[in-house]
Structure 1
Amino acid sequence: MTARGIIVGAPRSGSGKTSVTIGLLRALKRRGFSVRGAKSGPDYIDPAFHEAATGLPGVNLDSWAMPPALLDGLVAGATIGADIVVIESAMGLFDGIVSPDGRSGSAADLARRFGLPVLLVLDVSGQSQTAAAVAKGFAVYDPGVRIAGVVLNRVGSERHRRLAGAAIEAIGLPVVGCVMRDPSMTLPERHLGLVQASEHADLDAHIDGLADVMERSLDIDAVAGMAEAVDAIATEENPPVSRSLSTGSEERKGRSYQSTVALPPPGQRIALAKDAAFTFLYPHLIAAWRAAGAEIVAFSPLADEAPDDGCDVCWLPGGYPELHAGKLAAAANFREGMGRFAAQKPVHGECGGFMVLGEALEDADGVTHRMLGLLGHSTSFARRKMNLGYRQATLLADCPIGQEGDVVRGHEFHYASLTDAGQDASLAEIADGQGVALGAFGGRRGLVSGTFFHAIAGAT
């Protein structure tokens, strides 16, 4: 049976769509559906909440950073073993970069490409009938994007519900739910978004609470009925990324991932830093590496573990090293093991991993901690400056994310500032999402490379 899909969208960030999505995912699971969550755009935190709610791995779907063939493979893979796929929009439904070819990075691109209806979450606090004007605008703004129904969120009273709901239904849009104001539904946040799922106290109970609210507030059966067959095509060259591929538990049937649609594995055995300080690695990359036959060997720097000397490459992903800088600085075995590994084999760090590869990291309290010193830069979280946006990198040398001359698309999102650039050679020439040059970026020394940029896919 073909899986069905629906997109949960909103006019802006902060409308409550994440809480609605997580509660809806669990509520659908309670009804016996096999349901999978996905996140539009480059947000690397929300997919873990989707997985916690459903028991199936989440995935990012980014129409700007991912080639169309990769998107098709990821969406086709998301349908494997699922009855319903729920895609949570990033920011506002139509928000993205200016792009004439359906590659803006918005959830609206996914609605068009895969023929998916949209469930619109409207925060109606501070308005009533005016919500109908907002809904009307969404309904007519883009003929290729269909609003199937509306959820009223943060409703203050029964009268408030009647006024807003009746006005919206009068323009021909069904209202399938009304969520009252409830501060307990709010998920805790940190500077890069939600506090990670792995850090959330009693996460399963919180998700059950959200599901209870959605079951009281939404017509779950009506929402399930709005979902439509997902129009996604996967080929032998661009195979689906399924749950089994992301766990490596099923035969791959002879199919392999091509460098044209995903980053090839940087080695046969990949030492991957994984703990509370190193958490941000896109699920589709792990799935693609495993599907290509690579083995992931996790280690914990916070537990003072070193990378396995039998691995071919070491990868330090992003995360929150600034929250654990003192413990990382004191991890002597980690430091010695990284130095030993880097003398013989490639090491790459992204964002938080890049910070740890440098000489020093100043935490939010202004305390400076010694880092690995495998690259010469120093960073500060005390001198905060938000850096956010799509990035396109042309590599200046071979490294674990590609070969010299390769173009890789990804995303930059951090508050740390570079206080000392050091003397290392640059890793890449960087442009923003619209091709505006931003100059040289990152660092490389010997077999060590790093950058604030999170790689998502090759730019093909």
Structure 2
Amino acid sequence: MTEMMTSPPGILISAPSSGTGKTTVMLGLLRALAEDGLTVQPFKSGPDYIDPAFHLAAARRPSFNVDTWAMDGGLLEAISAQACGADIVVAEGSMGLFDGVAKPGEQGHGTSAETAARMGWPVILVLDVGGQAQSAAATALGFRMYNPDLPFAGVILNRCASPRHERLTRLGMERAGMPVLGVLPRRGDLTLPERHLGLIQAVEHPDLEAAISGYASFLREHVDLAAIRSAAASRSAGASVGRSANELPRPPAQRIALARDSAFSFTYPHLLEGWRASGAEILPFSPLANEAPAADADLVWLPGGYPELHAGKLAAADNFLTGLRRHAESRPVHGECGGYMTLGAALIDKDGTQHQMAGLLSLVTSYEKRKFHLGYRKAHLESGMPGFSAGDQLRGHEFHYCSILDQPDAPLARVLDAEGAEVPETGSVRGNVSGTFFHLIAQAGRMEAA
């Protein structure tokens, strides 16, 4: 049953492009508001596997992805209901504010602007003003006017070089009628470490707590927190926010052995929340610690992550591999992206060294010659996989740099990109074992009969 409630007020932190400092602002703002005694609910707009873990560390409350391309209205409402009990919502956009795909999905093009409009969250634009002054106002004004119906709170000016630089930039913003909510001086020590998929994982940061505390102190000194809180808004009073757990994804099994360590960590939080809400038991284990999946599990699920960075250790993890193979003799095993590679016959690392993997699928992948794969995926299942049947349509996202050298098993699905073009990464199925290169976000229906 769906109850009625009003969502807490919120804001969305966005930017003209990636690399402007919005993640630093996001983490500092989450922690500063939490230090002020607020219960802060973080969200991430778009298909990001890494940022939610940083949000959790900063807000001490789980963060969830909101995706207008992949999610239907019921799922969006169920996820937004995770903010129940919070005092304020702070969401982080992805890429630039209006960046998305050409063809709409379930609810839209997957832009951060769509997320803000749907949820009623005013946008705070983080602008890198390095190398410009008054001209930054033209950028801000263009973003505000590109969609005049989009709620817009103001700007935070980042990487300001001097008091004079600030004065000139503020002059431009005043002329454009753009509220300035903060001015951050240029500091080289406020960047998060990155690798080829973006930020390193939260669990790998050498001192994440100190970093987040530093961001919070920095924002508290240079940002008007009271003005940001005043700018937060939500949908009009009486708006419906679904609270039914039935709208969250259903679990693919009752007892799910879930690989969970720095090699396998890319699972969307709303999936796990849906599994738990339906009463499933999640049994974490660490392949890197050479742990076998629970012997009484109904399903083994290997998420994506960075197995290519740990390929030698995984190849030598006899207890893990033996337990995995034993499970696959009678019960299902599924892998996503890095988990899929691990289920294959071999993985070749960037140095050209070949590492034997589980051998439950015939897949051979290589990082020796990197090939970039990025984008939304719509899969029409040709065979069943845990939780789904042949004929089901799934929506997900693919992001990796490996090449397929051999993929002789039966294809799991016909896979299309966001514009309807077929992609060669079809996934594989053999016996009880299946795998995909895309990370599952949601079910999108069933194929119509021919």
TM-score, L = length of structure 2 = 0.95
One-letter amino acid of the structure 2 residue matched with residue 415 of structure 1: Y
SS in 1 for 2:441: strand
Calculate percent identity across the aligned residue pairs: 54
Task: Please tell me whether residue 446 in structure 1 is matched to residue 450 in structure 2.
Answer: no
Distance 1:115 1:234 in 2: 12
The correspondence of residues 344-363 of structure 1 with structure 2, limited to 5 A, is 344-363=330-349
**1:114 Cα deviation (Å)?**
1.7
Q: Look up the match of 1:96.
A: 100
Distance 1:339 1:20 in 2: 45
The correspondence of residues 239-388 of structure 1 with structure 2, limited to 5 A, is 239=244, 256-257=245-246, 261-388=247-374
**1:303 Cα deviation (Å)?**
1.2
Alpha carbons of structure 1 residues 125 and 364: separation in structure 2 relative to 1, 3 Å: same
Task: Please tell me whether residue 435 in structure 1 is matched to residue 435 in structure 2.
Answer: no
One-letter amino acid of the structure 1 residue matched with residue 241 of structure 2: A
Q: Look up the match of 2:37.
A: 32
One-letter amino acid of the structure 2 residue matched with residue 357 of structure 1: L
Distance 1:274 1:169 in 2: 49
One-letter amino acid of the structure 1 residue matched with residue 337 of structure 2: C
SS in 2 for 1:144: coil
One-letter amino acid of the structure 1 residue matched with residue 35 of structure 2: R
Residue of structure 2 aligned with 1:166, choices 166, 171, 174: 171
- Say whether the 8 Å CA contact 2:134–2:172 is kept in structure 1: yes
Residue of structure 2 aligned with 1:45, choices 29, 50, 56: 50
Distance 1:144 1:351 in 2: 38
SS in 1 for 2:410: coil
**1:33 Cα deviation (Å)?**
1.1
**1:401 Cα deviation (Å)?**
4.7
Q: Look up the match of 1:126.
A: 131
Distance 1:406 1:229 in 2: 35
Distance 2:433 2:96 in 1: 38
SS in 2 for 1:458: strand
Task: Please tell me whether residue 81 in structure 1 is matched to residue 91 in structure 2.
Answer: no
Distance 1:160 1:346 in 2: 60
Q: Look up the match of 1:60.
A: 65
Q: Look up the match of 2:183.
A: 178
**1:230 Cα deviation (Å)?**
4.3
Distance 1:409 1:195 in 2: 25
C-alpha distance after superposition, 1:410-446 (max 9, x if no partner): 000001111122x210000001112222256011000
One-letter amino acid of the structure 1 residue matched with residue 185 of structure 2: M
The correspondence of residues 219-258 of structure 1 with structure 2, limited to 5 A, is 219-230=224-235, 233-235=240-242, 239=244, 256-257=245-246
One-letter amino acid of the structure 2 residue matched with residue 361 of structure 1: L
Q: Look up the match of 2:23.
A: 18
C-alpha distance after superposition, 1:158-193 (max 9, x if no partner): 111111111112211110100011111100001111
Task: Please tell me whether residue 405 in structure 1 is matched to residue 377 in structure 2.
Answer: no
Q: How many residues align?
A: 437
Alpha-carbon RMSD = 1.4
**1:2 Cα deviation (Å)?**
5.0
Distance 1:269 1:15 in 2: 42
Distance 1:121 1:28 in 2: 18
- Say whether the 8 Å CA contact 2:257–2:283 is kept in structure 1: yes
Distance 1:430 1:262 in 2: 23
**1:28 Cα deviation (Å)?**
0.8
SS in 1 for 2:404: strand
Alpha carbons of structure 1 residues 307 and 223: separation in structure 2 relative to 1, 3 Å: same
- Say whether the 8 Å CA contact 1:401–1:455 is kept in structure 2: no
SS in 2 for 1:122: strand
Structure 1 gap segments, 5+ residues each: 240-255
C-alpha distance after superposition, 1:232-261 (max 9, x if no partner): 6334xx62xxxxxxxxxxxxxxxx42xxx5
SS in 2 for 1:185: coil
Q: Look up the match of 1:247.
A: none
**1:294 Cα deviation (Å)?**
0.4
- Say whether the 8 Å CA contact 1:5–1:230 is kept in structure 2: no
SS in 2 for 1:436: coil
Residue of structure 2 aligned with 1:137, choices 134, 137, 142: 142
SS in 2 for 1:126: coil
- Say whether the 8 Å CA contact 2:10–2:88 is kept in structure 1: yes
- Say whether the 8 Å CA contact 2:27–2:54 is kept in structure 1: yes
Residue of structure 2 aligned with 1:156, choices 157, 161, 184: 161
Distance 1:149 1:440 in 2: 42
Q: Look up the match of 1:248.
A: none
**1:333 Cα deviation (Å)?**
1.1
Distance 2:275 2:55 in 1: 22
Alpha carbons of structure 1 residues 371 and 440: separation in structure 2 relative to 1, 3 Å: closer
One-letter amino acid of the structure 1 residue matched with residue 313 of structure 2: K
One-letter amino acid of the structure 2 residue matched with residue 203 of structure 1: L
Distance 1:440 1:41 in 2: 21
Distance 1:457 1:100 in 2: 15
Distance 1:440 1:302 in 2: 26
One-letter amino acid of the structure 1 residue matched with residue 98 of structure 2: F
Distance 1:391 1:233 in 2: 30
Distance 2:119 2:282 in 1: 32
Structure 2 gap segments, 5+ residues each: 1-5, 446-450
- Say whether the 8 Å CA contact 2:249–2:270 is kept in structure 1: no
C-alpha distance after superposition, 1:364-414 (max 9, x if no partner): 222111100000011111211110000000001111151100000000000
**1:129 Cα deviation (Å)?**
1.0
Alpha carbons of structure 1 residues 61 and 2: separation in structure 2 relative to 1, 3 Å: closer
One-letter amino acid of the structure 1 residue matched with residue 418 of structure 2: G
- Say whether the 8 Å CA contact 2:79–2:248 is kept in structure 1: no
Distance 1:2 1:158 in 2: 39
Task: Please tell me whether residue 108 in structure 1 is matched to residue 108 in structure 2.
Answer: no
